């Protein structure tokens, strides 16, 4: 386990097994059943749980996460293997970034440097420019430090060189489903894949007032509020997942355009 980055790590490991020729096909993902008095007590003592019962990713009134439970699994295979069995290809995983910031047992560095490095690694593996990314499915757990640090990381890694005609869309599923801990990345990767497949980027529930960043960087990010974005035709989407202890992961998915 790599804490809340486990789901993304599992998918990333499967990606590398296939990419390096060690496997033709893998089933990757994660599950979590965490609603137990002991786990709740631990998160409450860590001051990670919301104080008002609402998950508000990116909102100025965010106060912590709401625990959830779930499971997400993805069938991954090489293109040759998929075509040989006439599989219904939904998306393509083109980049995987992994970093460790070694900052604090529960808190990320304030500048989001570790997350930024994971994003940049995923871009480098995919041989893409920051401006190629259309949508970010953020880890954003509704915590004071985490959401801000991630926004700084995303802004620093993906905004340079971007014109106003190419908005960078960003949202978090945790306002709707809560924080699934180890399963979060796997489930949110499925949301990310579906956003490309269905041309429908999900909005962040309970986001009323967007947080502020230094140099007004938040104003340059297009936070999806109120309703999903439909018809923007995203081609590349990033899924972030970060774990306690400083593990940062980013998966970069591409819309499947082949036959």
CATH number of the domain to which 41 belongs: 3.40.47.10
Look at the pTM and tell me if it is higher than 0.85: yes
Question: Could you report the per-residue pLDDT of 79-98, keeping only the tens digit for each?
Answer: 999 999 999 999 999 999 99
Count of domains for the chain: 1
Active site residue 36: no
* Res. 142 pLDDT band, cuts 50 70 90: very high
Range of the domain at 101: 3-255
* Res. 103 pLDDT band, cuts 50 70 90: confident
Average pLDDT, integer, range 103-127:
93
Active site residue 26: no
Instruction: Write down the catalytic residue from 4, 26, 151, 239.
Output: 4
Report the alpha-carbon distance of residue 11 to residue 69 in Å, rounded. Answer: 19
Active site residue 139: yes
Question: Could you report the per-residue pLDDT of 163-185, keeping only the tens digit for each?
Answer: 888 999 999 999 999 999 999 99
Instruction: Write down the catalytic residue from 26, 151, 179, 239.
Output: 179
Q: 188 by DSSP, 3-state: which? A: helix
Report the alpha-carbon distance of residue 5 to residue 9 in Å, rounded. Answer: 6
CA distances from 62 to 57, 59, 204, 226 (A): 6, 5, 13, 17
Instruction: Write down the catalytic residue from 26, 139, 203, 239.
Output: 139
């Amino acid at each position: 386990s790599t804490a809340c980055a486990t789901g993304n790590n599992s998918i990333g490991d499967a990606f590398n097994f296939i990419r390096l020729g060690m496997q033709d096909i893998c089933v990757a993902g994660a599950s979590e059943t965490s609603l137990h008095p002991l786990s709740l007590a631990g998160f409450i003592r860590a001051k990670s749980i919301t104080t008002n019962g609402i998950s508000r990713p990116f909102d100025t009134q965010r106060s912590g996460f709401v625990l959830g439970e779930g499971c997400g699994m993805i069938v991954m295979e090489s293109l040759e293997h998929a075509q040989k069995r006439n599989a219904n290809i939904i998306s393509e995983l083109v980049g995987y970034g992994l970093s460790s910031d070694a900052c604090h047992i529960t808190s990320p560095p304030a500048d989001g440097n570790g997350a930024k490095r994971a994003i940049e690694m995923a871009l480098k593996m995919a041989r893409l420019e920051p401006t190629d990314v259309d949508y970010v499915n953020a880890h954003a757990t509704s915590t004071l430090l985490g959401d801000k640090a991630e926004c700084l990381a995303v802004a620093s890694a993906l905004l340079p060189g971007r014109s106003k005609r190419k908005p960078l869309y960003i949202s978090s599923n945790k306002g709707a489903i809560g924080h699934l801990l180890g399963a979060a990345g796997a489930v949110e990767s499925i949301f990310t894949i579906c956003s490309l497949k269905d041309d429908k980027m999900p909005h962040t529930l309970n986001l009323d007032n967007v947080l502020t960043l230094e140099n007004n960087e938040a104003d340059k990010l297009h936070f999806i509020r109120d309703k999903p974005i439909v018809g923007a035709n995203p081609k590349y989407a990033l899924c972030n997942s970060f774990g306690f202890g400083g593990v940062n992961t980013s998966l970069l998915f591409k819309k499947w355009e082949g036959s």
